[in-house]
Amino acid sequence: MAQKKNPYLRAVKAPDVEEIKKREKKHRREKIKKIVVITGLIVLAVIGTILLLKNKAYGTARTAAEYIQETSDSNRYAVFADGLVRYNRDGVVLLNHKNEEQWIQPAQFQNPVIDVNGDTFAVADIGGNTILVFTEKGLKGEVETNLPIEKITLSDQGIVGVLLKNENTPMVMAYDATGNILVEHQVTVGNAGYPTALEISDDGTLLAVSYLSVNGAVLKSRVVYYNFGETGKAKADNEVSAQEYADTVVGEIFFMENDRSVVVGDHSFVIYEGAEIPEKKKEVELKQEIKSVFHTDKYIGFVLLNNEKSGYEVRLYDKTGKQVMNRGFTGEYSNVKMDGDEIILYEGSKCCIITDTGILKFQGDLKVDVLEITRAWGLNRYYVMSANGLRVIYLTK
C-alpha cells in the first residue's frame, strides 16, 4: 500500500552558525555597554559625592580617636614621614599615628629648631654648637660647629647649610650628614652685608644666601647663589649668580625642586630658574604687607594684610608666578602651612582651613591647643597633636 505524503511536513533548515555567533557577539557588546554605563554612573556619583563633601563648609570638629600621652608643655612637633617628630631640650622622638614612640634620641639642646626635607630632618641647637641629622630609621649623623649656630637649612640628601654667628665676620658653612665640612665661606659684613636668609637645594648643589647692608638711610639686599658642583668650582667662592634689591629686606628663600627657587622681599617675590646657574625669571609685586609665607612644590602662598577691609587675605601663585587663588578671612593665626590642596591656619585651639580653590572649608574651635596638625587618611579627617596627646578628628556640620 502506498504511503501518503503529509503536506504539512517541511524539512528543517540547518541553523546558520555565523548568524548565531553574530547575535551572541551583539548581545555581549550590549551587555558590556550596559555594565560600562552603569559603572560610569556609579563612579560619577561617587566622585560627585566626594567633591561635594570635600568642598563643603563645616563648622564643627569631632573626635574619632584619641591617643593620650601626657608630656612636657615645652614639646614641639613636626610632621615627618608617616608620623610626627617630637623634640625638646632633652632630645628627639619619632612617633607613629597612634602616638607610640618608634625611637628615642637623647640630646641636650638649649633652643632646638627643626628643618624637614623629604626623607631627612635635622634638629639644631640655636646659639649652641650641635646639629643632629635623622632619617626615619633614626640618627644619621652629628655636626659639631666651632661657632654658635644662627640658622640652618637641610637638603634631602642630608647636607646641612649653616649660618654661624661671629660678630662682624659670620661664617656660611655646609656639612655632610656625618659632620665633614664641604664648604666654608667667611662673610665680611662691611662689604657683603649680614646674612638674613639661606636655603639649600634638595640635591645639596645650590646654596642661596641673602645679605642685608645699610648705608646711611639706604638699605639693600643682595641674593647670592653658590654652586658646590662642577659648575661652581671655576668660580670665586663658588658664586655663580648674584642680584641686588634696593630698599628691600629679603627675609625668606626657598626651593621648589632643584631648578626653581623663590626669593621673598617686603612686598614682592622673585622666581629664579636654573639648576646650575639660577637666573631671575619673574618678579611679582604684592603691594600688601606680608604676614606669613608658605609653599609646596606646586604653590607659592602668602597671608597678606587686607587693604580693602578688616582681616587678612590668603593668596596662592603657581610655579610660574601666576595668581591662582585669593580668599579673605578674619581671625589671627600665627601658624600657617599647606598640606596637599589645603591651607591650614591655627592659633591656640582656633583653626581655619581653606582649599586651593578658595573655599573656606572650616573655621572653628578644635577644643584643644594645637601644637601640630596634618591631614589623616579618609575624607575630612586630621591628626591634631596637643600637650595631652594625639587626636584624630573629623569635620561635620
* Choice among 71-75, 91-95, 265-269, 333-337 with the minimum mean pLDDT: 71-75
- Give the range of the structural domain holding residue 208, as residue numbers without chain letter: 82-340
Percent of the chain with pLDDT over 90: 72
C-alpha cell at position 65: 580617636
Could you tell me the CATH number of the domain that includes residue 316? Answer: 2.130.10.10
> Which residue type is seen at 124?
A
Domain assignment of residue 367, yes or no: no
DSSP alpha helices (H): ranges in the chain?
A: 17-54, 189-192, 230-233
Residue 51 scores a pLDDT above 70: no
Query: Residue range 61-70: average pLDDT?
Result: 91
The structure's pTM equals 0.84
Domain assignment of residue 144, yes or no: yes
Query: Over the chain, what is the mean pLDDT?
Result: 89
Domain assignment of residue 54, yes or no: no
Domain assignment of residue 132, yes or no: yes
Structure confidence by residue, pLDDT tens digits, 186-209: 888 877 899 999 999 999 999 999
Domain assignment of residue 241, yes or no: yes
pLDDT value at residue 331: 93
Q: In Å, how far are 180, 224, 227, 286 from 232, measured between CA atoms?
A: 19, 12, 5, 33
Domain assignment of residue 395, yes or no: no
Residue 302 scores a pLDDT above 70: yes
Nearest to 316 by CA among 352, 341, 335: 341
Structure confidence by residue, pLDDT tens digits, 203-258: 999 999 999 998 888 899 999 999 988 899 888 888 999 999 999 999 999 999 88
C-alpha cell at position 364: 572653628
How many domains is the chain partitioned into structurally?
A: 1
Say if residues 187 and 208 touch (Cβ distance below 8 Å): no
Domain assignment of residue 368, yes or no: no
Domain assignment of residue 212, yes or no: yes
C-alpha cell at position 87: 623634640
